[in-house]
Amino acid sequence: MRVLFLCNKSPWPPKEGGPMAMNMFIEGLIESGNEVKVLAVNSFKFNISADDIPAAYHRKTGIELIDVDLRVRPVDAFLNLFTGQSYHVKRFISANFRKRLIAILASGEFDVVQLETLFMCPYIDTIRKHSKAKIVLRAHNIEHFIWERIADETKNPVKKWYIRHLADTLKNYEQKIISQVDGLVAITPTDAEYFNSLKKNQKSNLKFQKSNLKSQISNLKSQISNLKSQISNFAPPVIDIPFGINPSKYPHNNARAEFPSLFSLGSMNWIPNQEGIRWFLDNVWMDIHNQFPGLKYYLAGREMPEWMTSLNLPNVIVLGEVDDAVSFLASKAIMIVPLFSGSGIRVKIVEGMAAGKTIISTGIGAEGIGYTHLKNILIADAPCEFFEMISICVTDATLCEKIGGEARKLAETDYDAQILVQKLTAFYQQLPG
């Protein structure tokens, strides 16, 4: 099978959630005997030099990076208010990217073109025009959910209104575009359920339009025929396939971990991560520090904002980007995931589970993971709940080891990348057409 991946950022290096999720399937499909080609956006937020990508990765993926200017421009953002279009999506439209895509499609036949995230969907028409490949959208999140939750947490009324506008236009685009792909891979069962419900609602609307047209004069027969075609072709199959890992790369050995210790690990240029860390520091940390004055809280991740790097809070240690996330995971004890917005699945939670860590997360942070509270993860949504869970953990190493062991079992059974790649391949093969 020959698969072309269109990526909203480079899948290499796989050091944060999105690239890791993309690279899991890219390398997994190659290892399974498929041929893969990668065309990715290169932007200021995630800028990669092609020379820094290993030669072996170049050879097996044929990866190409196209520079796309994703910077938010105030004038463009303002004018976009009057278009009804999603400004998030519009910024990914690039003549250079489209030109290179056409050339790649002309170079040979592909069986599948996989769009990694909603932001690659503006190229669907180009793919249809120049290829017979099946188009699969891999939705890393339900994108508008993220912005709706951010809007809910925003206090400034003007900023709140604008973020709500971004969420609404993104939602409209998201709902429209799913009828244009041949298959949809959601990353959680909850997301898959949403897309399936959306399909049913839109299909019902089309049937209603068809019924109304039947009662009109005969010159509308062509419209009825067109609507019949839309109904029959509307519902692309939907499947949920989560992020996966190779369990053998995450040794479960907490003997060398600093206990007790708290840590958060993630891409700090992602707004939900920033907001969650700020909330935890403002509402939980000082109470924890006063109760356990020797306890340290480590912050690790790429692209940390200035407010985070300049923190001056007792026993909060800001490390920035770490060279080896797996080694960092092994060196610390209790993972803190204080997320209150976002969608999809938290890659770092899956990694933390694979490493046998005790994880304390909000319900939103753990969305999409088949967890059991108090068995393989601890859920806390209020400051008092975080205080309680942390207090229990730092005073009971045996409990932490038990929860971490159960988390490891969950990662091995539900998030083994090899099994998930097989599931994706089977999905490709059963797509209609």
pLDDT tens for 63-107 read 999 999 999 999 999 999 999 999 999 999 999 999 999 999 999
How does residue 346 score in pLDDT terms, banded at 50, 70 and 90?
Answer: confident
> Which one has a higher pLDDT value, 130 or 203?
130
Q: What is the pLDDT of residues 278-331, one digit of tens each?
A: 999 999 999 999 999 999 999 999 889 999 999 999 999 999 999 999 999 999
Domain co-membership, 401 together with 421: no
- Same domain for 187 and 273, yes or no, is no
Q: In the predicted model, is pLDDT for residue 231 greater than 70?
A: no
- Kindly tell me if the per-residue pLDDT of 160 is higher than 80: yes
pLDDT of 151 strictly over 50:
yes
pLDDT at 202: 56
Tell me how far apart the alpha carbons of residues 212 and 205 are, in angstroms, rounded to a whole number: 11
Residue 210's pLDDT band, with cuts at 50, 70 and 90, is: low
Residues 310, 232 within the same domain: no
SS3 label, residue 376: coil
157 shares its domain with 271: no
pLDDT band of residue 232 (cuts 50, 70, 90) is: very low
Please check whether residue 202 is in contact with residue 234, taking contact to mean a CB–CB distance below 8 angstroms: yes
Of the candidates 204, 229, 224, the one whose C-alpha atom is nearest the C-alpha of residue 214 is 224
Do 323 and 202 share a structural domain?
no
Give yes or no for a contact between 278 and 299, defined as CB atoms under 8 angstroms apart: no
Residue 143 banded pLDDT, cuts 50, 70, 90: confident
CA 301 to chain CA centroid, nearest Å: 16
* 215 and 68 part of one domain: yes
Same domain for 402 and 313 = yes
Q: Region 372-392: what's the mean pLDDT?
A: 98
pLDDT band at 219 (very low <50, low <70, confident <90, very high): low
- Position 139 confidence tier, pLDDT thresholds 50, 70, 90: very high
In this predicted structure, what is the pLDDT of residue 86? 95
The overall average pLDDT reported for the chain is 90
pLDDT above 80: residue 424? yes
pLDDT band at 200 (very low <50, low <70, confident <90, very high): low
- Strand order, beta sheet including 134-139: 64-67, 35-42, 2-7, 112-116, 134-139, 183-186, 238-240
Average pLDDT over residues 225-241: 66
Q: How many domains does the chain have?
A: 2
| Beta strands, E only, 187-315 | 238-240, 262-265, 297-300
Domain that holds residue 20: 2-244+417-429
229 band by pLDDT with thresholds 50, 70 and 90 = very low
**Distance between CA atoms of residues 126 and 258, nearest Å:** 53
Same domain membership, residue 400 and residue 329: yes
Q: What percent of the chain shows pLDDT beyond 70?
A: 91
**Does residue 352 share a domain with residue 232?**
no
Q: What is residue 146's predicted lDDT score, i.e. its pLDDT?
A: 81
Rounded Cα–Cα distance for residues 343 and 23 (Å) = 20
CA distances, 106 to each of 5, 96, 183, 370, 390 (Å): 15, 16, 23, 42, 57
Q: Which helix (H) or strand (E) holds 78?
A: helix 74-80
Do 274 and 149 belong to one domain? no
| Number of alpha carbons in the 13 Å side-chain half-sphere of residue 157 | 0
pLDDT band per the 50, 70, 90 thresholds, residue 15: confident
Q: What is the pLDDT of residue 212?
A: 61
* CA pair distance 174, 142, nearest whole angstrom: 8
* pLDDT for residue 226: 56
Do the beta carbons of residue 389 and residue 288 sit within 8 Å? no
| pLDDT for the residue numbered 199 | 61
Spell out the long-range contacts of 396-400 with Cβ–Cβ below 8 A and sequence spacing 24 or more. Answer: 397/259, 397/260, 399/358, 400/254, 400/259, 400/333, 400/334, 400/358
Predicted local distance difference test score (pLDDT) of residue 304: 94
pLDDT of residue 260: 97
pLDDT tens column, 182-191? 999 998 888 8
Same structural domain for residues 223 and 274?
no
pLDDT tier at 27, thresholds 50, 70, 90: very high
| Position with higher pLDDT, 406 vs 211 | 406
Indicate whether 230 pLDDT > 80. Answer: no
**337 and 203 in one domain?**
no
**pLDDT value of position 111:** 98
**Quick check: 10 pLDDT over 70?**
yes
DSSP E strand boundaries for 167-234: 183-186
C-alpha separations of 413 from 248, 293, 327, 330 in Å: 13, 38, 23, 20
Q: How far does Cα 350 stand from its chain's mean position?
A: 13
The CATH number of whichever domain residue 96 belongs to comes to 3.40.50.2000
The pLDDT value recorded for residue 270 is 86
Closest CA to 433 of 119, 207, 153, 181: 181
Q: Which residue has the higher pLDDT, 395 or 368?
A: 395
Beta bridge partners of 264: 299
Asked if pLDDT for residue 247 goes beyond 80, the answer is: yes
